Amino acid sequence: MEHPILFISLVLQALGLPVPHTVVGHSFIEQLCTPYMTYTWFVMAFLVMVSCMTLGKMELVPGSGQNFWEVIIGGLMGMLEENLGEKGAKMLFPMMATFFLYILTSNMIGLIPGFTSPTANLNITLAMTIVVWLTHHYLGFKYHGLHYYRHFMGPNKWLAPLMFVLEVVGNLARLVSLSMRLFGNIFAKEVLLSVLFMLAGAFFAPLPILMLGVLVSVIQAVVFVLLSTIYCAGSMAPAH
């Protein structure tokens, strides 16, 4: 089966690199050149380039670029402070802001014909979820030491064994729910847009879905960061 026509495929061909015919690829080089990997690097380079172009010189009276970033950073910081407090927000802001900007940009570029969203691949969403999962447990042990186990015991000592099992299962389920929610929504958007472009692209039929895709892209980025923040806040809070 022929590989899909993607912008990055043309770049890889021009550089003499292999264009994988499957999602994973056979050789190590093909695995590095799969769309979700190459578009991940593309998104990272795009964010770095835009940041350098718009924040090269900070001014007392901000221009349009500086205004844009101040709104984004101020909004994210406000959301984090509501859940984590000022100290926790400053500590986790770099990670959460990186997640938000990466997820939002990755979701959005899938709306452009010839591009695909890295977040439409479970490998990407699961990797980010594992980082969040390990981080919130690290914070739990950092703030509570070995007493962190109390978060899994429930409020009643007689029900503690049952609650421990339920809490462990529920905590492990976060790996599935957080990763699958983002992956499922973005993958469905990609498939629906592909079908509409093939069937009725000349009649502007995909336009309503494109507008819905913008909304879904923003919402899923916010939901991922918000849930990640709540998980970290819960691990840092004292057990009841």
Provide the pLDDT for residue 51: 84
pLDDT digit string, tens, across residues 129-158:
999 999 999 999 988 888 887 877 777 777
**What average pLDDT does the segment 62-79 reach?**
83
96 in any annotated domain:
yes
The predicted structure's pLDDT at residue 3 = 43
- 157 and 147 Cβ atoms separated by less than 8 Å: no
The model's pLDDT over 148-207, given as tens digits with 9 standing for 90+, comes to 878 777 777 777 788 888 888 988 999 999 999 999 999 888 888 777 777 765 566 667
* Span 101-132, pLDDT tens digits: 999 999 998 888 778 889 988 989 999 999 99
Does some domain include residue 106?
yes
What is the span of the domain harbouring residue 151? 65-236
Would residue 158 count as lying in a domain? yes
The answer to whether residue 92 sits within a structural domain is yes
Task: Please tell me the pTM assigned to this model.
Answer: 0.83
Number of structural domains found in the chain = 1
